[in-house]
Structure 1
Amino acid sequence: MSEQSKSFLSERRGFLAAALATGFALAVRPVAASTIVTDSEGLEVGPAFVERGDVELPVYVARPANASGRLPVVVVVQEIFGVHEHIQDLCRRLAKLGYLAIAPDLYFRQGDPRKYPEIEALQREVVSKVPDAQVMADLDGTVAWAVAHGGDGARVALTGFCWGGRIAWLYAAHNPELKAIAAWYGRVEGKASDNTPTQPVDVAAQLKVPVLGLYGGKDQGIPLDGVERMRVAIKRSGEPSRIVVYEDAGHGFNADYRPSYHRAAAQDGWAEMLKWFRSHGV
Structure 2
Amino acid sequence: MPKVETGRFAAAVLPVTAQTIRTDGMGLEAGPVSIPVDGFQMPAYRAAPAGGRNLPVVLVACEIFGLHEHIADVCRRLARQGYLAIAPGLFARHGDAGAYTDIPRLIAEVVGKAADEQVNADLDATVAWAGTQGGDTGRLGITGFCWGGRTAWSYAAHSAAVKAAVAWYGPVARSYHAGDATVIERAARIQAPVLGLYGAADGGIPVDTLAQLEAALKAAGNTACEFVVYPDTPHAFFADYRPSYRKPQADDGWARCLAWLRRNGVA
- TM-score tier by shorter-chain length is over 0.9
Q: Find the structure with the greater CA-based Rg.
A: 1
Contact 1:192/1:199, CA 8 A, preserved across alignment? no
CA drift of 1:48 comes to 1.2
Contact 1:20/1:60, CA 8 A, preserved across alignment? no
Matching residue's letter, 1:231: E
Superposed CA RMSD? 1.4
Aligned to 1:114: 98
Equivalent runs, 1:126-275 vs 2, <5 Å: 126-190=110-174, 194=178, 196-239=179-222, 240-275=224-259
CA drift of 1:54 comes to 1.8
Contact 2:4/2:32, CA 8 A, preserved across alignment? no
Determine if the alignment matches structure 1 residue 61 to structure 2 residue 40: no
Residues of 2 paired with 1:97 and 1:165: CA distance? 21
Contact 1:147/1:153, CA 8 A, preserved across alignment? yes
Residues of 1 paired with 2:211 and 2:142: CA distance? 23
Residues of 2 paired with 1:267 and 1:131: CA distance? 32
Contact 2:156/2:165, CA 8 A, preserved across alignment? yes
Residues of 1 paired with 2:17 and 2:58: CA distance? 27
CA drift of 1:193 comes to 5.3
CA drift of 1:63 comes to 0.5
CA drift of 1:192 comes to 8.1
Residues of 2 paired with 1:81 and 1:125: CA distance? 12
Q: Choose from 9, 13, 17 the match for 1:32.
A: 17
Contact 1:211/1:242, CA 8 A, preserved across alignment? yes
Q: What is the TM-score of this pair, normalised by structure 2?
A: 0.96
CA drift of 1:57 comes to 1.1
CA drift of 1:281 comes to 1.4
Matching residue's letter, 2:49: P
Determine if the alignment matches structure 1 residue 52 to structure 2 residue 37: yes
Change beyond 3 A, Cα 1:25–1:191: closer
Unaligned runs of 5+ in 2: none
Q: Choose from 85, 93, 117 the match for 1:101.
A: 85
CA drift of 1:124 comes to 1.4
CA drift of 1:257 comes to 0.5
Determine if the alignment matches structure 1 residue 86 to structure 2 residue 74: no
Residues of 1 paired with 2:216 and 2:118: CA distance? 26
Point out the more displaced range, 135-144 or 200-209. Answer: 200-209
- The alignment-based identity, stated in percent, is 51
Deviations 1:110-154 (A, max 9, x none): 000111012111111111111110001000000111112100121
1:173 partner SS? helix
Q: What is the TM-score of this pair, normalised by structure 1?
A: 0.91
Q: Number of residues paired by the alignment?
A: 265
Change beyond 3 A, Cα 1:223–1:108: same
Matching residue's letter, 1:204: A
Aligned to 2:28: 43
Deviations 1:157-188 (A, max 9, x none): 00010000111111111001111000000000
CA drift of 1:22 comes to 2.6
Matching residue's letter, 2:75: C
Matching residue's letter, 2:37: R
CA drift of 1:208 comes to 2.2
Contact 2:33/2:43, CA 8 A, preserved across alignment? yes
Unaligned runs of 5+ in 1: 1-14
Residues of 2 paired with 1:74 and 1:124: CA distance? 29
Matching residue's letter, 1:57: M
Matching residue's letter, 1:259: P
